[in-house]
C-alpha cells in the first residue's frame, strides 16, 4: 500500500514539475502511451468474445511473437480493431465527439486494471484506500500551501485549449493537449469545451475494493449479490460520487481550488458499509 502511494505521488509530482517548467511535450508522450495501453486493454477484454467464435482447437491457441514472447490467437484477432479505435481517438482527439471514445478507452483501462490487480485482504484494502484518501486531499486541497497551486488540478487541466489577444487585436488560439487519464462528460454543447471530469484513479482505487467485495460474495453466496458486500460497496460508491458532484456543484472548496478530491467521499462511503457487514 505504501509502495503504491509512493509511486503515485512521485509520478504526479514529476508531471507537475515538468509541466511547470514548460515541458508540455510530456503531455503528448502520455497521450501516446494511453493510446497503446488502452488498445491493449480493450483487446484483452474482447478476447473472450473472439475466442467464443473460434473452433474448439483454436480457442486457447497461442502465436509466437519472437523476442516479445507469445500471445493468444483470440487476442491477436481483435488487436487490429482495438488499435484502429485507439488510433482514431489519437488522430481525432480534439474533435467534439472524441470524449465518448476516450471514455470507452479509459473504461477499458480501468476494467483491465481491477481484473489484473487484486486485494489480498480487507485489511490491505483499508490501508491502501486510507492512504489514497489522504493523498487525494493533499494533492487537491492542501498542495497550494506548498506549491502555490493545486498539484492535482494543475496536472488534470494542463494543456487545455486557451486563447491570447495580441497587441494588434488578433486572437491567437491554442488547441492544447488535454490529459487523457480521465473520463469526460460535456456540460451542454461539447464545442464549448466545458466538461465534467473523473480521474481514472477515482475509479480503480475504489474499484479494487468493489472487486474484492464481489469475490467475497462469490465465495460465500456463489454470486455477487446486491444484498451482500458487493451491493453495499457499489451503493457506497454511487453515494460518494453523488456527494463529490454535489460538492463541486455548490463550490465547496479549500484554498480556492476549483475541483474536488473524489476519494474524500468515495473512500469512507465504500469502506464503511463493507466493514459494517
Q: Which of 136, 175, 189, 194 is catalytic?
A: 136
What are the residues whose beta carbons fall under 8 Å from the beta carbon of 61, sequence distance 6 or more? 54, 72, 73
Task: State yes or no: is 136 an active-site residue.
Answer: yes
Q: CA 34, CA 28: separation in Å to the nearest integer?
A: 10
Query: Taking a C-beta distance cutoff of 8 angstroms, is the pair 188, 98 a contact?
Result: no
| Cβ density class 100-123: b for 16+ within 10 Å, e for less | ebbeebbbbbbbbbbeeeebeebe
What 3-state DSSP class applies to 52?
Answer: helix
Q: Which of 103, 175, 189, 202 is catalytic?
A: 202
Task: State yes or no: is 217 an active-site residue.
Answer: no
Grid coordinates given for 248: 463541486
| Cβ density class 240-265: b for 16+ within 10 Å, e for less | bbebbeebbeeeeeeeebebbbbbbb
> Which residues form the catalytic set?
136, 202
Amino acid at each position: 500500500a505504501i509502495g503504491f502511494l509512493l509511486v503515485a505521488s512521485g509520478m504526479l509530482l514529476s508531471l507537475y514539475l515538468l509541466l511547470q517548467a514548460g515541458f508540455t511535450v510530456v503531455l503528448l508522450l502520455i497521450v501516446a502511451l494511453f493510446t497503446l495501453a488502452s488498445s491493449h486493454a480493450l483487446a484483452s477484454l474482447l478476447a473472450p468474445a473472439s475466442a467464443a467464435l473460434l473452433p474448439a482447437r483454436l480457442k486457447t491457441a497461442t502465436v509466437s511473437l519472437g523476442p516479445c514472447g507469445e500471445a493468444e490467437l483470440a487476442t491477436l484477432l481483435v488487436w487490429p480493431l482495438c488499435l484502429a479505435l485507439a488510433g482514431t481517438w489519437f488522430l481525432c482527439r480534439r474533435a467534439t465527439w472524441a470524449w465518448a471514445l476516450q471514455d470507452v478507452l479509459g473504461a477499458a483501462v480501468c476494467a483491465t486494471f481491477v481484473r489484473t490487480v487484486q486485494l489480498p485482504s480487507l485489511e490491505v484494502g483499508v490501508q491502501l484506500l486510507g492512504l489514497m484518501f489522504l493523498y487525494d486531499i493533499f494533492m487537491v486541497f492542501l498542495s497550494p500551501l506548498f506549491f502555490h497551486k493545486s498539484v492535482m488540478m494543475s496536472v488534470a487541466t494542463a494543456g487545455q485549449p486557451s486563447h491570447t489577444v495580441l497587441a494588434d487585436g488578433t486572437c491567437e488560439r491554442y488547441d492544447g493537449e488535454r490529459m487523457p487519464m480521465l473520463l469526460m462528460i460535456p456540460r451542454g454543447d461539447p464545442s464549448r469545451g466545458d466538461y465534467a471530469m473523473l480521474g481514472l484513479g477515482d475509479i480503480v482505487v475504489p474499484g479494487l475494493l468493489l472487486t474484492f467485495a464481489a469475490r467475497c460474495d462469490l465465495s460465500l453466496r456463489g454470486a455477487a449479490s446486491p444484498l451482500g458486500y458487493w451491493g453495499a460497496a457499489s451503493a457506497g460508491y454511487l453515494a460518494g460520487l453523488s456527494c463529490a458532484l454535489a460538492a463541486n456543484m455548490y463550490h465547496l472548496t479549500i484554498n480556492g481550488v476549483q475541483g474536488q478530491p473524489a476519494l474524500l467521499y468515495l473512500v469512507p462511503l465504500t469502506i464503511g458499509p463493507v466493514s459494517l457487514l
